[in-house]
Structure 1
Amino acid sequence: MAGRRHRAAGKVRRTDHRRSRHGTAPVRVPPCRWLPAAPPRAGRASRNGAAMTAGGTIPATISGPGGRPPADPRAGGVREAVRGVPAHGSGGTEFRLLGPVGIRNGGTGTDIVPWGSKQRALLSALVLHAGRLLSVDQLTEELWGDRPPANAANALQAHVARLRRLLPGPEGTVPGHEWITTLPTGYRLSLGDATTDVQHFHRLSAEGRAAAAGDPGRAARLLRRALALWRGPALQDSRYGPLCTGEADRLEENRLTALEILYEMSLCCARPGEIIGELENLVADHPLRERFYDLLMLALYRSGRQAEALGVYERARRRLVEALGIEPGPVLRCRMEAILNHAPGLSAPAPPEAPYPAAENRPGSRELGSEIAWLRQRVDELNRRQIALARRFDALAARTPPTF
């Protein structure tokens, strides 16, 4: 028998006793962290689903939803905040970087996970800089840092060849599309019709920010969809260098900003009690980010828990002094003073008006009266906006010196 299977707690560990091409030692196939209970048989490298390791070839394609990596346990309240919200749908190839690095082959419905941190780092660098030439020196530093192998160019070429074998075949791409182009000085990846979860996140986040001014409920829904794309830290389990470090940091900052806007919109929708637990988790995960303390204090105050809101300020002050030797900033101090004085501005806003119902849902007997009432509300709202805009224009004109 070519190998043995050991089944324990629903997982499969596979040991392969075939002899290597270059020696007599048995080839040990390492267990895959995301290996489903019924994985495909190990075989030789194929164009659409196998990645090379130092000891031989192992399958790298994981099929179906059961093979998806679980969410990062550190996400805590973030995953609770977006549970049950569909992320997006796509029928083509999608590169996934918001969590464990991998590829979603929409044509076959399989998830492809590169083996080894260097393979994941190479894929991350090429996808994050898609359409741009990355030199051999840049990629060498990305994969090996300041300790490159003696034959770095050949080693890099081998990694690129393995990555090419891993990428989806023609059924998941446009006809004639070539993913990675080899140029005299380096390599370039072209997305073609493929997408990335980073693109989806930025698009949904931008739509959420745009909706924040006029429709907090819609803004919150869009931001939850954007955050649902995160399955863990950006570029998780990938050993990356200068090419990806800055991008990973920017993605994390964008995620935290989206969370801040999400909970601000949730408070505008007058649902403070629903998000207190999620904000507590965020404060625990990011103890030096003052905006999360501010939102938690406001949510507690609007839930009738003034003493607890003031206790959050003391907690924030203690952590900032211990970690950074600084006092809370002016925003957090102003929030604390407003809570002490029961400032009127802390009151929850009025619930947003329900949108005008579609014609097929309106009772016929009240259709005209409802329409007139809705139109009057819209006219009043537009008048208020026009007045505010005129005042702002006058203020700007007063500060602008005349030109001759």
Structure 2
Amino acid sequence: MQIRDADTGIVLGPAGARGRILLGALAARAGQAVPVRQLIEEVWAGAPPAGAPNALQAHVTRLRRLLTVRQDAAGPGRSTVVAGALGYALRPGAGRLDAERFGQLVAQGRARAAADPDGAGELLRAALSLWRGPALEGSRGGAVCDAAAARLEELRLVAAEALYDLCLHGGRHAQIVAELEELTAAHPLRERLNEQLMVALCRLGRPAEALGVYERTRRCWLRELGVEPGPALARRARAIAGHAVPDTAAHAAGLQGAAPDGGGPLSARGLRQEIARLERGIERLSARRGELVGRLEALGADGTVRA
């Protein structure tokens, strides 16, 4: 988490870990007051020093100074930290937060997808280019920053999936294989990304590798969740095994969202089905965990079964 000069791109700070955590927590709830107690918990990881409120105030003062560097005090884009009865709040100037700009570009890209797929793809690329690493890097570890980072990462992956749908729809599958391989390695349980990689590989005349992606994903799901991947991925594998080259229509529909009753990847029914399937897997995993815990408790210190 950093403050950069908007003109030069130079990193202004914060220099210390606690300053970065404070900035991350305030940015995660930009425009909202974060209680002092919660900020103390976040900044000192549950082990605050004596006089923590005063120490926090000192960090806020240093953060304010950083935010005023090269800013016009009367300008509309000015960012600052304000104190109130409920705590401290970051009030960012318009367009000052990367997360805000990212969301705007993604929304614009989705809105243009049907009428101008190429323009929509450029907007989504621009949105994803704002990412310089993991969300809130250097600020994580507390409840506020961890929750915000998970939400932002999900938004990033959804935007990437939308971009790759457009690329597949436009026949640009060769351009995205390397990116998809990297993302599926980092997120092996992500069905949509794995399906997109399968489609791209198949179109490049590499169906055996596409089916290998399915088998790898299936093994990962069974190992981690105790259930098979969803039916859409299985259908894709069967189609590829039957030598069917995936067309582009499904990907355009996937980006715009299926009909409300269509059961597609973005439909309410499809999402409910996936949630129910995952919940069944969680129940099985919980039961298995209880069984193993019981067996562990039945063992003595030397590994023998207690009488």
**1:113 alignment counterpart:** 13
Q: How does 1:137-148 map to 2 (within 5 A)?
A: 137-148=37-48
**Greater relative contact order structure (CA < 8 Å, 6+ sep):** 1
Closer, same or farther: CA 309–106 of 1 in aligned 2, 3 Å = closer
> TM-score, normalized by length of structure 1?
0.57
Note the C-alpha offset of 1:231: 0.2
1 or 2, which has the higher strand percentage? 1
1:153 to 28, 53, 63: 53
> TM-score, normalized by length of structure 2?
0.74
What is the CA–CA distance in structure 2 between the aligned matches of 1:294 and 1:178, rounded to whole Å? 42
Note the C-alpha offset of 1:226: 0.4
**1:134 alignment counterpart:** 34
What is the CA–CA distance in structure 2 between the aligned matches of 1:348 and 1:227, rounded to whole Å? 23
Tell me the amino acid that sits aligned with residue 49 of structure 2. P
Note the C-alpha offset of 1:275: 1.6
**2:217 alignment counterpart:** 316
- Give the alignment's Cα RMSD to 1 decimal: 2.6
**1:241 alignment counterpart:** 142
Gaps of 5+ in 2: 253-258, 263-307
Closer, same or farther: CA 104–178 of 1 in aligned 2, 3 Å = closer
Note the C-alpha offset of 1:107: 5.6
Closer, same or farther: CA 152–303 of 1 in aligned 2, 3 Å = same
Contact 2:177 2:201 in 1 (8 A): yes
Gaps of 5+ in 1: 1-100, 353-388, 393-404
Tell me the amino acid that sits aligned with residue 281 of structure 1. E
Contact 2:198 2:211 in 1 (8 A): yes
3-state SS, counterpart of residue 164 of structure 1: helix
Partner deviation per Cα, 1:272-310 (whole Å, 9 max, x = no partner): 222222211111111111111101111111222222222
1:304 to 205, 210, 220: 205
Closer, same or farther: CA 157–348 of 1 in aligned 2, 3 Å = closer
What is the CA–CA distance in structure 2 between the aligned matches of 1:234 and 1:103, rounded to whole Å? 14
Contact 1:272 1:299 in 2 (8 A): yes
Contact 2:95 2:101 in 1 (8 A): no
- Percentage identity across aligned positions? 49
1 or 2, which has the higher helix percentage? 2
Closer, same or farther: CA 147–220 of 1 in aligned 2, 3 Å = same
2:120 to 219, 234, 257: 219
**2:67 alignment counterpart:** 167
What is the CA–CA distance in structure 1 between the aligned matches of 2:79 and 2:181, rounded to whole Å? 47
Closer, same or farther: CA 307–108 of 1 in aligned 2, 3 Å = closer
What is the CA–CA distance in structure 2 between the aligned matches of 1:116 and 1:265, rounded to whole Å? 41
1:275 to 170, 176, 179: 176
Note the C-alpha offset of 1:173: 4.2
How many residue pairs get aligned? The number is 251
Return the index of the structure with the highest Cα Rg. Answer: 1
Note the C-alpha offset of 1:102: 1.3
Closer, same or farther: CA 171–256 of 1 in aligned 2, 3 Å = closer
